[in-house]
Every structure is written in C-alpha cells, then in structure tokens.
C-alpha cells in the first residue's frame, strides 16, 4: 500500500536525522528523482518536516538571543514555503498518475488532496517518534511516562485512521468516484508585491 511505503520512508528519514540530531546538518536524498520520483518527494518532504520540528523546539527557548530568534523565524518561514511546495509536487505526481481516469457523473471532490493527507502523516510520524521517546525516557517520572504512553496510543490510532482514509481516497480517485485538483497555495506574506510591508521596502 502507498501509505506503508510512505511510513517506511518517513521512519528512515527520522532515524537518519537523529544520527546527528542537528537541524543544520547537510541533506542527501538517497532516492533518485528520475527513477524513484515518489520516494524522492516523500523523503524530501519528511526531511523538511523533521528539520522544522527541531527549529520549532529551538525557537521556544526562553533564553534565545533575539537576533538568533529572528534569523530562526525567517528559516521557519522558508521551511514552511518548502513544505507547501513539496505538498504541491506530490499532488502533481498523483494528478499525473490518475490523469487517464474519467470521473463518474456522481464523482465528488475531497476536502483535502492526497498530498495534504501525506503532510499530516509525515507530522504524525514525528509525533509518534518523539512521544515514544518521552514514554521511555529513563530520567522521566513514572507519571510522565504513563501520560506519554496514553498519548502515544492515541497517536497510533490516529495513524491507523489516517492511513485508512488516504488509501480510501486514492482508491476512490482511481475508480473515478472522487476527483482531485491541485490548488497553488498563493501565500501572500512571502511575496514582495502582495505583502504591503515588503512592497513598501521596494
């Protein structure tokens, strides 16, 4: 199944990242874009999410230097743009995969595209990894570990539900009972023509 492939790649990414556990480490994608495009996109997508997860930890340090915080905030903004771009690339992949399917007259559109489901699955993989860490942390209290174990079980249920929903959506698109579109996000705050603050600097 597609979601099992995605989860395997996400786990590979998260494990590889935590070898150095450094958001500024160099990135290498082991999947070739020309021969393994989907795997390439999934690996890159989860790497962006993993780095941003740790950016978000760092910026919440109450003792962070304000200048460093501003630099990091801009890195987070850039990461968010990369994340959105990757979602659109993955959706474009699916759109091409199903371009020969003729939707039925009764076909409906989903509230989210397949790739936005993948986005949620990638974040969920990170939540599960880190909640598992907390549930087994040796220096944590028993109460803390029990609380985290309960949360972990909820996250695992969410993963099952989400993978089921993504697989059903892809099956529905393939059968023509659902159809999909790719909408560009059209973010305005990074655009120096659409953001009035940036436009005023020109």
Q: What is the model's pLDDT at position 197?
A: 67
Alpha-helix residue ranges (DSSP H) falling in 21-113: 37-59, 66-97
Residues 6+ apart with CB under 8 A from 75: 55
What domain range is 172 assigned to? 2-191
Element (H, E) at 178: strand 178-179
User: Does residue 100 fall inside a structural domain?
Assistant: yes
The predicted structure's pLDDT at residue 192: 76
Report the pLDDT value the prediction gives residue 26, as an integer from 0 to 100.
Answer: 97
User: Pick from 122, 126, 104: which is nearest to 114 by CA?
Assistant: 122
- Per-state percent for the chain, helix, strand, coil, to nearest 5: 65, 0, 30
Number of domains in the chain: 1
In this predicted structure, what is the pLDDT of residue 186?
67
**Tokens coding 78:** 């850039």
In the prediction, which pLDDT does 73 show? 96
196 within some domain: no
Q: What is the pLDDT of residue 181?
A: 86
What the block records as the tokens of 33 is 């874009």
Mean pLDDT of residues grouped by 10 in the chain (202 residues)?
A: 98 98 98 97 98 97 97 96 95 96 96 96 98 97 98 98 98 97 73 74 76
Query: Per the structure block, which two tokens stand in for 195?
Result: 């953001």
Nearest-angstrom CA–CA distance, 16 and 83: 19
Residue 199 lies in a domain: no
């Amino acid at each position: 199944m597609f979601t099992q492939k995605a989860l395997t790649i996400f786990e590979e990414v998260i494990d590889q990242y935590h070898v150095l556990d450094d958001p500024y480490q160099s990135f290498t994608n082991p999947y070739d874009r020309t021969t393994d495009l989907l795997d390439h996109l999934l690996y890159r997508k989860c790497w962006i999410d993993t780095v941003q997860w740790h950016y978000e930890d760092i910026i919440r340090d109450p003792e962070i230097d304000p200048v460093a915080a501003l630099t990091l905030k801009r890195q987070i903004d850039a990461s968010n743009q990369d994340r959105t771009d990757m979602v659109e690339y993955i959706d474009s992949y699916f759109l091409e995969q199903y371009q020969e399917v003729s939707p039925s007259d009764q076909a409906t559109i989903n509230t989210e595209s397949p790739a936005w489901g993948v986005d949620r699955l990638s974040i969920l993989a990170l939540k599960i990894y880190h909640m598992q860490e907390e549930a087994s942390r040796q220096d944590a209290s028993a109460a803390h570990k029990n609380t985290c174990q309960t949360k972990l079980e909820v996250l695992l249920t969410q993963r099952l539900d989400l993978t089921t929903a993504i697989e059903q959506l892809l099956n529905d698109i393939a059968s023509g009972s659902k159809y999909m579109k790719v909408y560009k996000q059209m973010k305005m705050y990074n655009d120096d023509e659409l953001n009035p603050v940036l436009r005023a600097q020109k």
